[in-house]
Amino acid sequence: MGLTISDKVLTVHAIDRHESDSVLRVGIDALLGHDATISLLIDRFERLGLSIWDPKRVIFTNDHFSPPADAERADISARFLAFSRRLRLNHLLIDKGICHQLLVEHELCQPGSLIVGADSHTIMAGALGVCATGMGSTDILFALATGTTWMRVPETIKITFRGLLPNACNGRDVVLQLLSLLGEHEARYRTLELHDESQSKLLQDERFAISNMAVEMGAKFGIFVPDEITVEYCTKRDGVSPTALTLPDVDARYEREIDVDLTTLRPLVAKPWSPANVTPVDELERTPITTAFLGSCASGRLADIRVAAEIMAGKKVNERVRFVVIPASIEVFKQALKLGYVEVLTEAGAVFNQSSCGPCGGIDKGVLGSQDVCVSTSNRNFRGRMGHWDSATYLASARTVATAALRGYVGEMA
């Protein structure tokens, strides 16, 4: 039997195996961290007198508190930055955007590499054929000091996309469709290996959205089989093409195989309070909203901002709605500026915030109050996550979010 992508990547990175378990010690290629979760390990790292394994292979950014909204978070931010400077990291990216977007914009993020990050959405780099996964602060402390971590080789579920993605849909609708099939748990501990056999091929930005939310199904890795789209993206980014692509064997062993025909896909939303609580948007009853949010690591990329600008051009955001837009990184923001999308959206009444996590984790400007109903491109609509326990969030694509911002409601939107 042949091997899947994660079988191969973990085998190549294995250092040794725990005596009586299926647990491997693996060497990592890169490590990602941000202000919030790294702040939880600083005291322990310094108390143990540890030093960093390789400052050239670590990317840190402040994305949760950028800039900080209150005094405690300002202190956390300052501690994080001081610690990062003491480590003499080569890649300390300050106020440059959301860590997951910065990782995929970085040449450390190569197909076939093994990357860990101090945040669950690290999995997003899988969209470039990377085995990338999120961990907590203690795991990351260990990896930061040793360049190693412990992993089991996961089972793999093969997902094959076929057909042609309708114009009304994007990667968010694709991943919501997967969530409706697999729920919040059926990919638990597993690799989702994503094969794009669709006619037009999914854009790289759509692939990021899909890999990002693989973790909402419980996945450890969400890996697109690298292809010409991957090579084109990496070549444009790095100036050279990737040295090698790790591909699955033709006879790879999969726990399960699922075909998804994109041709019949319709725009979807996830209702409160689960990303797997999915329904077609035109079957949702008309639901008035107070807030629309286009941002987060799940979306907030150029393709998302472009579609919002196209929908909003010459129109106005509904007077009862606050429409917050947060580009996933400063690089995305600069491109959106250059292409005129920022002006179009600002004229329409959208509010741009600094590239950061924003209200997604209930952290920063745009958090929801008890009466707020939000339609959002973020990745989680867990109860209380975006603010008040009684607030409600519907997850959807940038197209659905922008349309709802104009109309003042979500649902009944064919």
328: three-class secondary structure by DSSP: coil
Give the C-alpha distances (Å, rounded to integers) separating 74 from 69, 317, 330, 411: 7, 33, 21, 39
Shortest distance (Å) from residue 95 CB to another protein: 20
**Parallel, antiparallel or unpaired: strands 23-27 and 148-152:** antiparallel
Shortest distance (Å) from residue 74 CB to another protein: 12
Shortest distance (Å) from residue 90 CB to another protein: 23
**361 makes contact with another protein (CB under 8 A):** yes
**137 makes contact with another protein (CB under 8 A):** yes
- The answer to whether 96 touches 330, Cβ cutoff 8 Å, is yes
Angle, CA 388 vertex, CA 385 and CA 394 arms, to 5°: 55
Exactly one of 4, 39, 377, 378 binds another protein (CB under 8 A); that residue is 39
CB atoms under 10 Å from CB of 121, counted, come to 28
* CA 302, 304, 108, 141 torsion-angle sign: positive
Exactly one of 12, 14, 25, 351 binds another protein (CB under 8 A); that residue is 25
Shortest distance (Å) from residue 36 CB to another protein: 6
* CA 276, 65, 293, 161 torsion-angle sign: negative
**252 makes contact with another protein (CB under 8 A):** no
Exactly one of 21, 251, 285, 319 binds another protein (CB under 8 A); that residue is 21
Alpha-carbon Rg for the chain, nearest whole angstrom, is: 20
Pick from 411, 384, 386, 391: nearest CA to 400? 411
**37 makes contact with another protein (CB under 8 A):** yes
Of 93-101, 181-189, 243-251, 399-407: span binding another protein (CB under 8 A)? 181-189
Cα–Cα dist 306/291, whole Å:
20
Tell me how many residues contact another protein (CB under 8 A).
50
Provide the 8-state DSSP code for 153: P
Shortest distance (Å) from residue 139 CB to another protein: 6
**150 makes contact with another protein (CB under 8 A):** yes
Exactly one of 23, 69, 313, 337 binds another protein (CB under 8 A); that residue is 23
Cα–Cα dist 28/130, whole Å:
12
Exactly one of 27, 78, 95, 146 binds another protein (CB under 8 A); that residue is 146
Exactly one of 84, 101, 120, 291 binds another protein (CB under 8 A); that residue is 120
9 vs 345 by CB, closer to another protein: 9
Cα–Cα dist 2/341, whole Å:
46
Residues within window 385-414 making contact with another protein, judged by CB under 8 A: 385, 389
**264 makes contact with another protein (CB under 8 A):** no
Does 53 sit behind a cis peptide bond, omega within 30 degrees of 0 on the bond before it? Answer: no
Both tokens assigned to 63: 């994305």
**100 makes contact with another protein (CB under 8 A):** no
- The answer to whether 289 touches 404, Cβ cutoff 8 Å, is yes
Cα–Cα dist 137/119, whole Å:
9
**369 makes contact with another protein (CB under 8 A):** no
Contact code string over 203-242 relative to another protein, x by CB under 8 A: -------------x-x-x----------------------
Residue 16 pairs in a beta bridge with 25
Exactly one of 14, 50, 203, 252 binds another protein (CB under 8 A); that residue is 50
Residues engaged in binding another protein (CB under 8 A): 15-16, 18-23, 25, 36-37, 39-40, 44, 48, 50, 72, 76, 79, 118-120, 134-139, 141-142, 145-146, 150, 184-185, 188-189, 216, 218, 220, 274, 361-363, 380, 382-385, 389
